[in-house]
Copies of this chain bind each other. A is one copy, B any other.
Amino acid sequence: MTNNTAYAELMEFQRQTEALAQVAGRLGWDQETVMPRGAAQQRSEEMGALEGVLHARRTDPRLADWLAAAEPADDKAAAQLRHIRRNHARTTKIPGALAQELARVTSIAQGIWAEARANDDVAAFLPTLAQVIALRRQEAECLAEGGDLYDALIDDYEPGATAESLGAMFDRMRPRLVALRSAVLGAEYQPKPLEGHFGQDAQMRMARDLATAFGYDWQRGRLDLAVHPFSSGSGSDARITTRVVETDPFNCFYSTIHEVGHACYELGIDPDYALTPLGQGVSMGVHESQSRIYENQLGRSRAFTGWMYGQMRERFGDFGIAGAEAFYGTVNRVQSGFIRTEADEVHYNLHVMMRFDLERALIRGDLVVEDLEAAWNDRFKADFGIAVPRPALGMLQDVHWSVGLFGYFPTYSLGNVYAGCLHRALRAAVPDLDAALAAGDTSAATGWLRENVQRHGGLYTPREVITRACGAEPGEGPLLDYLEAKFRGIYRL
């Protein structure tokens, strides 16, 4: 076996694995959008069988031989090998029995969490949560090899990030965010909330037009309804979902734009990388940077909301907001609230910081699940000034912990920070962007992001891809500058 043969055989094997992973993803899409309700149990068997096939491939003994023999011919091949090696090392460090037990417990745990949330019943969730944490700690011990357990988990979602660096970043962000929130909530001028009724069909038509405006390629995707919006798939099939609340069209519109950001990242990757390890977004943080810059820095900009205002007037008539400037305030209205996913740009990262501290304590063993509800509620009162009225609005609100996603939350803030950096660089590269956005034309922005971020897929590390795009190491400064300028403007401070 020559080195070239080993590389070619490895990549062919990997390609089939990637193709099967796409099938598993599509099955997940089907389940959340079109699957008949009575098919749930059979589906879990189907998914289990497919996951079994994927697991067998990922632990195939030939991988180690190929990886030992393969020598990369160029930088791209080296990057492919880096990903395969990394995943292989991760898989081989975890005993099969532990991996199976984690899969089994987290798949049950999600249902238990959903029912506990529906009934506001923390006690019903705690034994399962304790079990999930114990298993994830075991897994982290296998991965960390003596290092920090929580770091080992973060590394799954954002290679290279550490709790220490994230904690330091959050410490720098907090005072400026808190000061901004305080100024904004105390401001004399307060934007008007949106009121009224906006029909489902009209919302969906506008959602489609917004996706088109952000360059979503309908030849390689589609938009459907789902309970929780998500995007799904890579290569030439990246689908998005949204939801409709007839009293809150922004929910539908900005969920759509957010998911378009994720999908455009996948669809923007160099087609040569399709069905290879380079053919997916490189990390959760970079992924979120695309969804957030589409949604916030572009979609909630004064210029673009000006165009949206005209669109909404055409479709919904007079909906009680007089003029594009007032509409810009309405879209960006800052408000206290309990739910992370509904938070405005000023509050959002404060929600994440709280989860980051709590989950780090859980994984380190400094906090036991029996004390979690009190810890959450105390911290929420301290950070947000309001008392959590019931656990569905508190510690039971997010699915993440039930499925073992410890270390995932901070990537949401990292995405916002990356988006801040990219936005600064984008504005410097495209000085007349606002004129285009005001006409509903995002192509200069989305083209710049495709060229500078999206097309690279997994070629560079997360920090590298942001640094190359921005010409500087990422940091929280640009995001905070942007937020202060934007919200001081809106609130006339």
B37 adjacent to A219 (CB under 8 Å): yes
A20 adjacent to B36 (CB under 8 Å): no
Contacting residues, chain B, for A237 (C-beta < 8 A) = 35-36, 38-39, 42-43
| Binding site secondary structure of chain A | helix
Assembly stoichiometry (copies): 2
B23 adjacent to A46 (CB under 8 Å): yes
Distance of A235 from chain B, by nearest CB (Å)? 5
A22 adjacent to B46 (CB under 8 Å): yes
A38 adjacent to B275 (CB under 8 Å): no
Interface residue tally for chain A (C-beta within 8 Å): 38
Contacting residues, chain B, for A52 (C-beta < 8 A) = 16
Give the distance in Å from the alpha carbon of A26 to the alpha carbon of B50 in the complex: 13
Contacting residues, chain B, for A218 (C-beta < 8 A) = 36
Most central of A42, A52, A219 by chain B CB within 10 Å: A42
Could you tell me which A residues sit within 8 Å of B by CB distance?
15-17, 19-20, 22-23, 26-27, 30, 34-39, 41-43, 45-46, 48-50, 52-53, 217-222, 235-237, 239, 274-275
Contacting residues, chain B, for A16 (C-beta < 8 A) = 49, 52
Q: A39-B236, A42-B235 are in contact. List 6 more A-B contacts (CB 8 A).
A: A16-B49, A20-B46, A22-B42, A36-B239, A38-B236, A42-B274
Give the distance in Å from the alpha carbon of A216 to the alpha carbon of B218 in the complex: 32
B275 adjacent to A41 (CB under 8 Å): no
Distance of A260 from chain B, by nearest CB (Å)? 14
Give the distance in Å from the alpha carbon of A275 to the alpha carbon of B39 in the complex: 13
Distance of A251 from chain B, by nearest CB (Å)? 24
Give the distance in Å from the alpha carbon of A275 to the alpha carbon of B53 in the complex: 17
Distance of A83 from chain B, by nearest CB (Å)? 19
- The 14 listed contacts between A and B (C-beta, < 8 Å) are A16-B52, A19-B49, A20-B53, A22-B42, A23-B46, A30-B30, A34-B34, A35-B237, A36-B236, A36-B239, A38-B236, A39-B220, A42-B235, A45-B275
B34 adjacent to A222 (CB under 8 Å): yes
A36-B275 contact in complex given A27-B23, A50-B23, A236-B41, C-beta closer than 8 Å: no
B36 adjacent to A220 (CB under 8 Å): yes
Give the distance in Å from the alpha carbon of A221 to the alpha carbon of B19 in the complex: 27
Give the distance in Å from the alpha carbon of A236 to the alpha carbon of B237 in the complex: 27
